[in-house]
Amino acid sequence: MKTVATPTICLALAFAAWAGNALYAAGEPGGELKYWSPALVAGAMIAFFVIHGRQLYSGRQLLAFAVTVFLVGWFFETVSVLTGFPFGNYHYTELMAPFLGHVPVSVMPAYCVMGYVSFSMARILLNRIGGRPDAMLRFGVPVVASLLMVAWDLSMDPLRATIEQRWVWLDGGPHFGVPVENYFGWAFVTWIMFQAFTLFLGRGAANRLVPPSAETVRYWLSVPVIYLAFAVEYVLNPVFGATGARAVAVNGLEIPVAEIEAEIAFLTATTMIPLAFLAIARLRRALVRSRAGFGDDAVFRRKG
């Protein structure tokens, strides 16, 4: 595959994920759109992980990322289902079948693709999209990436657990039935994934610096765009109002689904969306500074 085509392909995959999530928001519970649209999202996200990732990392490095995420994610999900640490007391329902032990098979790929997107966006936000691995890449990027994952889960978890009942929080919690420790657990577990990967990256050869161009900025632009793919569903849910159920039980109280969806849409608009636009602004700044002759915003391509 020619490098020149990669930015366009990655942006197309990002918008395919947008379309899939928009269709999901528009679908009726139990309907064809709700059933089939996740396949479009999953296919686009997995293809993005492979195509975007292979331009940035070697095959060995990308495989290391996937294996690290799968093993760490499966281990802590299993431990939490059995003991309540670190996410809290919960269990998955049959809606998430098939399972690998106590954990749905689909959970690990979700960790992987969204983890890759969050890790890449953290590199943009911290201006670490090029150059030799330094302390900020090794230790700062994993922290920011884990917080980006938490920002996603703040919107995702109440919709999937409280409304759709894909998993059940046994003790409830203040965030529409989700316990606070879940989000601390997410930050902790995803940080471990990212930290392990950056330490692995530090063992590799340095990459060659190249100045930002319209092509390389478009390549990185696909990262915040695909991060927003899930925000599309969350902000469209109140528009379509297609969840079906009038109310769901939250900590022993009946809460209208429309109220939860509206508040999640507002939360998304004040977390995921501004973070993505901040990343876009960082990329624009990198391109402008490069054209003005500054060299501190270089991006890189793999050798060979």
* 160-173 residue pLDDT tens: 999 999 999 999 99
Q: Round to whole Å and give the CA distance between 49 and 43.
A: 10
Peptide bond into 109 cis (omega under 30): no
Residue type, 37: S
**Predicted local confidence at residue 207, as pLDDT:** 46
How does the average pLDDT of the chain come out, rounded?
89
- One-letter-per-residue 3-state SS of 241-260: CCCCCCEEEECCEEEEHHHH
* φ/ψ of residue 258, rounded to 5: -60, -35
Sequence-distant (6+) residues with CB within 8 A of 75 are none
Low-confidence winner among 36-40, 277-281, 289-293 (lowest mean pLDDT): 289-293
Predicted confidence band of residue 242 (pLDDT cuts 50, 70, 90): low
Contacts of 2 (CB under 8 A, 6+ apart): none
pLDDT in tens, 71-81: 999 999 999 99
Q: Where are the alpha helices (DSSP H) in the chain?
A: 6-26, 32-56, 59-83, 107-125, 135, 141-157, 180-201, 214-240, 257-270, 272-291
pLDDT at 115: 98
pTM summary value: 0.91
Q: What gap in Å lies between CA 257 and CA 163, rounded to an integer?
A: 7
